[in-house]
Copies of this chain bind each other. A is one copy, B any other.
Amino acid sequence: MLSQLLRSRPTTRTRLAADTGISSATVSRAVEHLIGSGVIREGGEIVAGTRGRRAVTLDLDGSRGVVVGIDLGASNTRMIVADLVATPLASVELPTPSELGAVELAEALVHTARRLCGDRWDLLQSVCVGLPGAVRANGPSVTNANNLAQVEDPRLLETLRARFATHVQLVNDADLALLGEQRFGAATGAPTAAILTFGTGLGAGIARDGVLVQGRHGIVGEFGQLPVGPLGTRLEHMVTGPGILRRAAESGVTMTSPADLFVTEPEAALAAMRNQFDTALVIALTAITVACEPDVLVLGGGLAPSLEPDLERYRDAIELHVHYAPRLALAELGAHSGAAGAVVVALTDCYRRLGVADDALGDAPVGALLDLDRVKAVAVPDRP
Protein backbone atom coordinates (compact mmCIF):
# COMPACT_ATOMS: atom_id res chain seq x y z
CA MET A 1 0.00 0.00 0.00
CA LEU A 2 2.57 2.53 1.17
CA SER A 3 4.92 0.72 -1.17
CA GLN A 4 3.12 1.88 -4.26
CA LEU A 5 2.88 5.39 -2.91
CA LEU A 6 6.66 5.44 -2.66
CA ARG A 7 7.03 4.14 -6.18
CA SER A 8 4.97 6.89 -7.78
CA ARG A 9 5.17 9.73 -5.38
CA PRO A 10 3.21 12.00 -5.34
CA THR A 11 0.10 10.22 -6.55
CA THR A 12 -3.67 10.15 -6.05
CA ARG A 13 -6.12 7.68 -4.61
CA THR A 14 -7.37 6.73 -8.05
CA ARG A 15 -3.89 6.09 -9.37
CA LEU A 16 -3.01 4.06 -6.30
CA ALA A 17 -6.07 1.91 -6.87
CA ALA A 18 -5.20 1.41 -10.51
CA ASP A 19 -1.53 0.65 -9.84
CA THR A 20 -2.06 -1.79 -7.01
CA GLY A 21 -5.21 -3.45 -8.31
CA ILE A 22 -6.84 -2.83 -4.94
CA SER A 23 -10.36 -1.46 -5.05
CA SER A 24 -10.77 2.26 -4.71
CA ALA A 25 -12.90 1.73 -1.63
CA THR A 26 -10.09 0.00 0.21
CA VAL A 27 -7.55 2.53 -0.98
CA SER A 28 -9.68 5.37 0.34
CA ARG A 29 -10.03 3.72 3.71
CA ALA A 30 -6.33 2.95 3.95
CA VAL A 31 -5.37 6.47 2.96
CA GLU A 32 -7.75 7.86 5.55
CA HIS A 33 -6.01 5.80 8.18
CA LEU A 34 -2.54 6.81 7.03
CA ILE A 35 -3.48 10.48 7.02
CA GLY A 36 -4.88 10.02 10.48
CA SER A 37 -1.60 8.63 11.73
CA GLY A 38 0.29 11.47 10.10
CA VAL A 39 2.36 9.47 7.64
CA ILE A 40 0.64 10.79 4.54
CA ARG A 41 -0.52 14.28 3.67
CA GLU A 42 -2.95 15.67 1.12
CA GLY A 43 -1.24 18.07 -1.23
CA GLY A 44 -2.47 20.69 -3.62
CA GLU A 45 -4.89 19.56 -6.27
CA ILE A 46 -3.79 18.74 -9.77
CA VAL A 47 -4.52 21.52 -12.27
CA ALA A 48 -5.48 18.98 -14.92
CA GLY A 49 -7.35 20.23 -17.98
CA THR A 50 -9.61 17.19 -18.04
CA ARG A 51 -13.23 17.17 -17.11
CA GLY A 52 -14.52 15.92 -13.84
CA ARG A 53 -13.62 16.38 -10.22
CA ARG A 54 -9.95 16.95 -9.60
CA ALA A 55 -7.94 14.33 -7.78
CA VAL A 56 -6.34 15.20 -4.48
CA THR A 57 -2.64 14.49 -4.54
CA LEU A 58 -1.17 12.38 -1.76
CA ASP A 59 2.37 12.40 -0.54
CA LEU A 60 4.51 11.35 2.33
CA ASP A 61 4.58 13.95 5.04
CA GLY A 62 8.28 14.65 4.86
CA SER A 63 8.29 17.11 7.72
CA ARG A 64 7.55 14.41 10.27
CA GLY A 65 11.17 13.45 10.58
CA VAL A 66 14.74 13.96 9.45
CA VAL A 67 17.61 11.64 8.68
CA VAL A 68 21.36 12.20 8.65
CA GLY A 69 23.71 10.78 6.04
CA ILE A 70 27.42 10.92 6.78
CA ASP A 71 30.32 10.07 4.52
CA LEU A 72 33.33 9.65 6.76
CA GLY A 73 36.22 9.71 4.34
CA ALA A 74 39.89 9.32 5.00
CA SER A 75 40.49 13.01 4.40
CA ASN A 76 37.09 14.71 4.22
CA THR A 77 33.79 14.19 5.92
CA ARG A 78 30.47 15.18 4.37
CA MET A 79 27.14 15.25 6.05
CA ILE A 80 23.65 15.83 4.72
CA VAL A 81 20.47 16.31 6.74
CA ALA A 82 17.31 15.55 4.79
CA ASP A 83 13.64 15.22 5.54
CA LEU A 84 11.62 12.07 4.98
CA VAL A 85 11.08 12.83 1.31
CA ALA A 86 14.79 13.32 0.68
CA THR A 87 14.68 17.10 0.58
CA PRO A 88 18.11 18.29 1.69
CA LEU A 89 17.82 20.60 4.69
CA ALA A 90 21.44 21.22 5.52
CA SER A 91 24.84 19.96 4.52
CA VAL A 92 28.43 20.48 5.49
CA GLU A 93 31.85 19.42 4.32
CA LEU A 94 34.81 19.45 6.64
CA PRO A 95 38.23 17.85 7.04
CA THR A 96 37.99 14.55 8.85
CA PRO A 97 39.45 14.99 12.34
CA SER A 98 41.53 11.90 11.78
CA GLU A 99 43.77 12.66 14.73
CA LEU A 100 40.92 11.85 17.11
CA GLY A 101 40.27 8.48 18.65
CA ALA A 102 37.12 6.51 18.02
CA VAL A 103 35.03 7.98 20.85
CA GLU A 104 36.07 11.57 20.23
CA LEU A 105 35.52 11.16 16.52
CA ALA A 106 32.02 9.87 17.14
CA GLU A 107 31.27 12.74 19.47
CA ALA A 108 32.54 15.24 16.95
CA LEU A 109 30.22 13.76 14.33
CA VAL A 110 27.25 13.91 16.66
CA HIS A 111 28.09 17.48 17.56
CA THR A 112 28.20 18.52 13.92
CA ALA A 113 24.96 16.69 13.19
CA ARG A 114 23.29 18.44 16.09
CA ARG A 115 24.38 21.79 14.73
CA LEU A 116 23.06 20.93 11.26
CA CYS A 117 19.75 19.63 12.54
CA GLY A 118 19.08 22.65 14.72
CA ASP A 119 15.61 22.51 16.20
CA ARG A 120 14.79 19.45 14.15
CA TRP A 121 17.10 17.34 16.30
CA ASP A 122 14.14 15.78 18.08
CA LEU A 123 12.75 14.57 14.76
CA LEU A 124 15.84 12.51 13.98
CA GLN A 125 14.73 9.08 12.78
CA SER A 126 17.79 7.35 11.42
CA VAL A 127 21.48 7.87 10.76
CA CYS A 128 23.79 6.15 8.30
CA VAL A 129 27.56 6.50 8.32
CA GLY A 130 29.72 5.47 5.38
CA LEU A 131 33.32 4.62 6.05
CA PRO A 132 36.34 3.33 4.15
CA GLY A 133 36.42 -0.25 5.36
CA ALA A 134 34.73 -3.62 5.17
CA VAL A 135 31.63 -3.74 7.33
CA ARG A 136 30.89 -7.17 8.74
CA ALA A 137 27.33 -8.07 9.52
CA ASN A 138 28.08 -9.19 13.07
CA GLY A 139 27.55 -6.20 15.26
CA PRO A 140 28.33 -4.72 12.77
CA SER A 141 32.10 -4.53 13.09
CA VAL A 142 34.55 -2.92 10.74
CA THR A 143 37.74 -4.37 9.26
CA ASN A 144 40.23 -3.46 6.54
CA ALA A 145 39.94 0.25 7.30
CA ASN A 146 43.56 0.95 6.50
CA ASN A 147 43.03 4.62 5.79
CA LEU A 148 41.10 5.48 8.93
CA ALA A 149 41.98 2.84 11.45
CA GLN A 150 39.99 4.18 14.39
CA VAL A 151 36.69 3.27 12.76
CA GLU A 152 37.54 -0.36 13.46
CA ASP A 153 37.10 0.40 17.15
CA PRO A 154 33.70 -0.90 18.24
CA ARG A 155 33.35 2.08 20.57
CA LEU A 156 32.78 4.26 17.52
CA LEU A 157 29.46 2.61 16.83
CA GLU A 158 28.62 2.36 20.53
CA THR A 159 29.16 6.05 21.02
CA LEU A 160 27.24 7.00 17.89
CA ARG A 161 24.28 4.90 18.95
CA ALA A 162 24.32 6.27 22.46
CA ARG A 163 24.63 9.92 21.47
CA PHE A 164 22.32 9.88 18.45
CA ALA A 165 19.78 7.83 20.37
CA THR A 166 18.33 6.44 17.15
CA HIS A 167 19.14 3.78 14.61
CA VAL A 168 22.71 4.13 13.37
CA GLN A 169 23.99 2.02 10.49
CA LEU A 170 27.52 1.62 9.24
CA VAL A 171 28.04 0.91 5.54
CA ASN A 172 31.03 0.72 3.26
CA ASP A 173 31.61 4.02 1.49
CA ALA A 174 31.79 2.60 -2.03
CA ASP A 175 28.44 0.89 -1.49
CA LEU A 176 26.95 4.19 -0.42
CA ALA A 177 28.41 6.00 -3.40
CA LEU A 178 26.76 3.43 -5.61
CA LEU A 179 23.41 3.89 -3.91
CA GLY A 180 23.74 7.63 -4.28
CA GLU A 181 24.48 7.38 -7.98
CA GLN A 182 21.68 4.86 -8.41
CA ARG A 183 19.04 7.08 -6.90
CA PHE A 184 20.24 10.53 -7.81
CA GLY A 185 23.07 10.28 -10.32
CA ALA A 186 24.65 8.37 -13.16
CA ALA A 187 22.90 5.06 -12.53
CA THR A 188 19.31 6.18 -12.14
CA GLY A 189 16.95 3.64 -13.58
CA ALA A 190 19.53 0.87 -13.35
CA PRO A 191 18.47 -1.46 -10.56
CA THR A 192 21.51 -3.60 -11.02
CA ALA A 193 24.61 -1.47 -11.13
CA ALA A 194 28.13 -1.40 -9.84
CA ILE A 195 30.68 1.22 -8.95
CA LEU A 196 34.44 1.31 -9.00
CA THR A 197 36.04 4.10 -7.02
CA PHE A 198 39.63 5.17 -7.45
CA GLY A 199 40.51 6.72 -4.17
CA THR A 200 43.43 5.99 -1.93
CA GLY A 201 42.50 2.38 -2.59
CA LEU A 202 40.30 0.68 -5.11
CA GLY A 203 36.76 0.31 -3.86
CA ALA A 204 33.80 -1.30 -5.47
CA GLY A 205 30.15 -1.79 -4.76
CA ILE A 206 27.51 -3.95 -6.34
CA ALA A 207 23.74 -3.65 -6.25
CA ARG A 208 21.36 -6.13 -7.77
CA ASP A 209 17.71 -5.28 -8.28
CA GLY A 210 18.13 -2.15 -6.24
CA VAL A 211 19.59 -3.92 -3.23
CA LEU A 212 23.22 -3.72 -2.18
CA VAL A 213 25.10 -6.99 -2.32
CA GLN A 214 26.77 -7.01 1.06
CA GLY A 215 28.36 -10.19 2.22
CA ARG A 216 28.47 -11.07 5.87
CA HIS A 217 32.14 -10.21 5.95
CA GLY A 218 31.87 -7.10 3.84
CA ILE A 219 34.39 -8.19 1.28
CA VAL A 220 32.08 -8.21 -1.72
CA GLY A 221 33.63 -5.87 -4.25
CA GLU A 222 37.22 -6.10 -3.05
CA PHE A 223 38.42 -6.55 -6.59
CA GLY A 224 41.43 -4.43 -5.75
CA GLN A 225 42.88 -7.42 -3.92
CA LEU A 226 43.03 -9.65 -6.99
CA PRO A 227 46.64 -10.74 -7.48
CA VAL A 228 46.68 -10.22 -11.21
CA GLY A 229 49.89 -8.31 -11.75
CA PRO A 230 53.35 -9.73 -12.34
CA LEU A 231 54.75 -11.28 -9.16
CA GLY A 232 51.28 -11.30 -7.70
CA THR A 233 50.91 -7.54 -7.54
CA ARG A 234 47.46 -6.56 -6.43
CA LEU A 235 45.18 -4.96 -8.93
CA GLU A 236 44.71 -2.08 -6.54
CA HIS A 237 48.36 -1.11 -6.79
CA MET A 238 48.15 -0.83 -10.53
CA VAL A 239 45.27 1.58 -10.85
CA THR A 240 45.25 3.88 -7.82
CA GLY A 241 47.27 6.98 -7.10
CA PRO A 242 49.87 5.76 -4.61
CA GLY A 243 50.59 2.63 -6.64
CA ILE A 244 50.96 4.59 -9.84
CA LEU A 245 53.37 7.04 -8.29
CA ARG A 246 55.45 4.28 -6.77
CA ARG A 247 55.64 2.41 -10.05
CA ALA A 248 56.59 5.61 -11.83
CA ALA A 249 59.41 6.18 -9.37
CA GLU A 250 60.63 2.62 -9.88
CA SER A 251 60.62 3.08 -13.64
CA GLY A 252 62.41 6.41 -13.38
CA VAL A 253 59.49 8.33 -14.81
CA THR A 254 58.92 11.74 -13.28
CA MET A 255 55.33 12.23 -12.34
CA THR A 256 53.91 14.87 -10.07
CA SER A 257 50.37 13.58 -9.99
CA PRO A 258 48.70 10.35 -11.06
CA ALA A 259 46.70 12.42 -13.52
CA ASP A 260 49.90 12.85 -15.56
CA LEU A 261 49.32 9.32 -16.74
CA PHE A 262 46.47 10.54 -18.90
CA VAL A 263 48.12 13.17 -21.06
CA THR A 264 47.19 12.90 -24.70
CA GLU A 265 50.64 12.35 -26.18
CA PRO A 266 52.78 10.54 -23.65
CA GLU A 267 56.43 9.59 -23.97
CA ALA A 268 57.34 5.96 -24.47
CA ALA A 269 57.96 5.18 -20.80
CA LEU A 270 54.74 6.85 -19.78
CA ALA A 271 52.83 5.13 -22.56
CA ALA A 272 54.04 1.77 -21.29
CA MET A 273 52.79 2.63 -17.83
CA ARG A 274 49.51 3.78 -19.23
CA ASN A 275 49.22 0.46 -21.02
CA GLN A 276 49.70 -1.40 -17.78
CA PHE A 277 47.09 0.79 -16.16
CA ASP A 278 44.64 0.08 -18.94
CA THR A 279 45.27 -3.64 -18.78
CA ALA A 280 44.66 -3.71 -15.05
CA LEU A 281 41.60 -1.51 -15.30
CA VAL A 282 40.06 -3.71 -17.97
CA ILE A 283 40.60 -6.71 -15.73
CA ALA A 284 38.80 -4.94 -12.92
CA LEU A 285 35.95 -3.84 -15.16
CA THR A 286 35.61 -7.29 -16.67
CA ALA A 287 35.66 -8.93 -13.26
CA ILE A 288 32.85 -6.70 -12.06
CA THR A 289 30.93 -7.34 -15.24
CA VAL A 290 31.02 -11.10 -14.88
CA ALA A 291 30.40 -10.82 -11.16
CA CYS A 292 26.99 -9.24 -11.50
CA GLU A 293 26.32 -8.14 -15.07
CA PRO A 294 25.44 -4.56 -14.16
CA ASP A 295 23.36 -2.36 -16.42
CA VAL A 296 25.60 0.54 -15.56
CA LEU A 297 29.11 0.56 -14.21
CA VAL A 298 29.92 3.85 -12.52
CA LEU A 299 33.46 5.10 -12.21
CA GLY A 300 34.10 7.37 -9.29
CA GLY A 301 36.90 8.87 -7.24
CA GLY A 302 39.62 11.34 -8.06
CA LEU A 303 41.01 9.61 -11.12
CA ALA A 304 37.68 8.90 -12.76
CA PRO A 305 37.34 12.17 -14.71
CA SER A 306 40.67 11.49 -16.42
CA LEU A 307 39.21 8.32 -17.88
CA GLU A 308 36.38 10.01 -19.67
CA PRO A 309 37.94 10.13 -23.15
CA ASP A 310 38.60 6.40 -23.05
CA LEU A 311 35.31 5.04 -21.74
CA GLU A 312 34.27 3.72 -25.14
CA ARG A 313 37.61 2.00 -25.56
CA TYR A 314 37.28 0.29 -22.19
CA ARG A 315 33.77 -0.71 -23.02
CA ASP A 316 34.90 -2.29 -26.28
CA ALA A 317 37.60 -4.19 -24.43
CA ILE A 318 35.08 -5.65 -21.99
CA GLU A 319 32.76 -6.58 -24.80
CA LEU A 320 35.58 -8.30 -26.60
CA HIS A 321 36.16 -10.55 -23.62
CA VAL A 322 32.67 -11.48 -22.54
CA HIS A 323 30.38 -10.45 -25.41
CA TYR A 324 28.60 -7.96 -23.24
CA ALA A 325 29.53 -4.70 -21.64
CA PRO A 326 27.62 -2.48 -19.26
CA ARG A 327 27.23 1.21 -19.88
CA LEU A 328 30.24 2.97 -18.40
CA ALA A 329 29.53 6.27 -16.75
CA LEU A 330 31.35 8.76 -14.59
CA ALA A 331 29.96 9.50 -11.15
CA GLU A 332 27.71 12.54 -11.34
CA LEU A 333 27.41 13.42 -7.71
CA GLY A 334 31.14 13.63 -7.28
CA ALA A 335 32.17 14.03 -3.68
CA HIS A 336 28.56 14.03 -2.52
CA SER A 337 27.62 10.55 -3.70
CA GLY A 338 28.63 8.88 -0.44
CA ALA A 339 26.61 11.19 1.77
CA ALA A 340 23.68 11.00 -0.64
CA GLY A 341 23.83 7.22 -0.47
CA ALA A 342 23.92 7.41 3.31
CA VAL A 343 20.72 9.45 3.18
CA VAL A 344 19.18 6.75 1.00
CA VAL A 345 20.08 4.05 3.51
CA ALA A 346 18.76 6.08 6.43
CA LEU A 347 15.52 6.81 4.56
CA THR A 348 15.15 3.17 3.64
CA ASP A 349 15.43 2.34 7.30
CA CYS A 350 12.65 4.81 8.10
CA TYR A 351 10.42 3.46 5.36
CA ARG A 352 10.93 -0.10 6.51
CA ARG A 353 9.79 0.90 9.97
CA LEU A 354 6.73 2.52 8.44
CA GLY A 355 5.84 -0.88 7.06
CA VAL A 356 6.82 -0.52 3.43
CA ALA A 357 7.23 -3.94 1.82
CA ASP A 358 10.82 -5.04 1.33
CA ASP A 359 10.54 -5.39 -2.40
CA ALA A 360 9.52 -1.76 -2.76
CA LEU A 361 12.40 -0.44 -0.68
CA GLY A 362 14.85 -0.97 -3.49
CA ASP A 363 12.68 0.69 -6.06
CA ALA A 364 13.98 3.56 -8.01
CA PRO A 365 13.18 7.03 -6.75
CA VAL A 366 12.78 7.36 -3.03
CA GLY A 367 11.40 10.75 -3.67
CA ALA A 368 12.44 14.11 -4.90
CA LEU A 369 15.78 14.02 -6.60
CA LEU A 370 18.37 15.12 -4.16
CA ASP A 371 19.75 17.79 -6.36
CA LEU A 372 23.28 18.88 -5.85
CA ASP A 373 22.59 22.56 -6.21
CA ARG A 374 20.17 22.37 -3.40
CA VAL A 375 22.60 20.45 -1.23
CA LYS A 376 25.12 23.21 -1.81
CA ALA A 377 22.53 25.88 -1.19
CA VAL A 378 21.85 24.55 2.27
CA ALA A 379 25.49 24.12 3.11
CA VAL A 380 26.45 25.67 6.39
CA PRO A 381 29.92 26.89 7.29
CA ASP A 382 32.34 24.39 8.69
CA ARG A 383 32.59 26.09 12.09
CA PRO A 384 29.80 28.29 13.36
Residues 225-268 of A at the B interface (beta carbon under 8 Å): 225-228, 232, 234
CB of B286 within 8 A of CB of A322, answer: no
CB of A323 within 8 A of CB of B279, answer: no
Binds B, one of A9-17, A30-38, A210-218: A210-218
A219 at the interface (CB under 8 A from B): yes
A289 at the interface (CB under 8 A from B): yes
CB of B322 within 8 A of CB of A222, answer: yes
Cβ-closest chain B residue relative to A288: B291
CB of A221 within 8 A of CB of B290, answer: yes
Q: Beta-carbon contacts of A306-345 to B below 8 Å, as 1s and 0s?
A: 0000000000000001111000000000000000000000
Q: Beta-carbon contacts of A273-297 to B below 8 Å, as 1s and 0s?
A: 0000001001100110111110000
Contacts of A227 in B (CB 8 A): 279, 282-283, 286, 321
Q: Tell me the minimal C-beta distance from A351 to chain B in angstroms.
A: 19
- 4 cross-chain pairs, A with B, having the tightest CB-CB distances, nearest first: A215-B293, A291-B291, A217-B324, A222-B290
CB of B279 within 8 A of CB of A219, answer: no
A220 at the interface (CB under 8 A from B): yes
Contacts of A283 in B (CB 8 A): 226-228
A223 at the interface (CB under 8 A from B): yes
A169 at the interface (CB under 8 A from B): no
